[in-house]
Amino acid sequence: MLRNPICSLLSIRLPFRPALVRRFHSSQQLPTPIPTSSTKSNSHSRPTSTMAASTRRIENPVLFICDIQEKFRQAIWEFPKVITTSQKMVKAANILNIPIYITTQNAARLGPTVSELTDLLSQSSDSQSSDRPEEIDKTAFSMLVPDLLRRLPEQSQTQSQPPSQVRTSSSPSHRLSIIITGIETHICVTQTALDLLDRGHRVYILQDGVSSCNAGERPVALNRLAREGCIVTTSESILFELLGDAKHEKFKAVSTLIKETKEETRVAVETLCKL
């Protein structure tokens, strides 16, 4: 009787080689079991809605308006849109009692801040006259000149430290969240943002509120700033983030401002925030 060749092959006993077994077990790691809900550590659990809401709020906000001057009116790409976004942010800062710091670059040659902004600053009803923002003139490209640094809140504890030490040692309570609009994106805005990061602050760049003489400089600068650690966002997004909750006492006033500037915002975003 002929034997089935397949059965013959199956009946062959191969010698046992424990070395191969050990090699297999040592090189193949079993996947780590995914912990169940009962074994997950509390420190890694998903935040509750209350926790998530609290992390959306921006702590210690400050508005920086960088060198939006008369002399640049004809030189800066889409300058009117930078003005309208900055106007909206000044109005919002007045509603939310956010400090405003405004600089000019060599005002003797480049002129004062545009009247569209200075008129709004003088109309602030929430600030005493002594607290109203004044234009700080400078020749340095960064806004962080000594005159401005002296006026920043919570600076007394970090003023004497080198920026590198401040960046690693500043506690959250001393860290400012600084929102920047102005010009030029790749020069004064960039150097201001880098100096703020070095001092341990959180920096928000409003893409619909910054520009340069050459439009092509903007995306290069914004990409670099994002890599450095800045948050590049839009004016409407930052306003809702400042509120954090529809129950905020200033929600109605800010939402009214957003509705009033809806068309200007749309045009600015479509122009200045193209991918």
One-letter amino acid identity for 111?
G
**230 catalytic, yes or no?**
no
Catalytic choice (66, 81, 91, 188): 188
**126 catalytic, yes or no?**
no
Tokens read off for 263: 């068309």
Q: At residue 79, what are phi and psi to the nearest 5 degrees?
A: -55, -40
Cα 11 from Cα 252, distance rounded (Å): 84
**Does residue 78 have a cis bond before it (omega within 30 degrees)?**
no
Q: Where are the beta strands (DSSP E) in 11-133?
A: 61-66, 100-105
Catalytic choice (66, 67, 91, 195): 67
Judged by DSSP in three states, 219 sits in helix
Tokens read off for 76: 């800066």
What CA–CA distances, in Å, run from 264 to 28, 169, 235? 60, 41, 11
Burial of 14 (0-12, 13-18, 19+ CB in 10 A): exposed
Segment holding 29, helix H or strand E: none
**262 catalytic, yes or no?**
no
Cα 106 from Cα 166, distance rounded (Å): 29
Catalytic choice (66, 81, 138, 230): 138
Which are the catalytic amino acids? 67, 138, 188
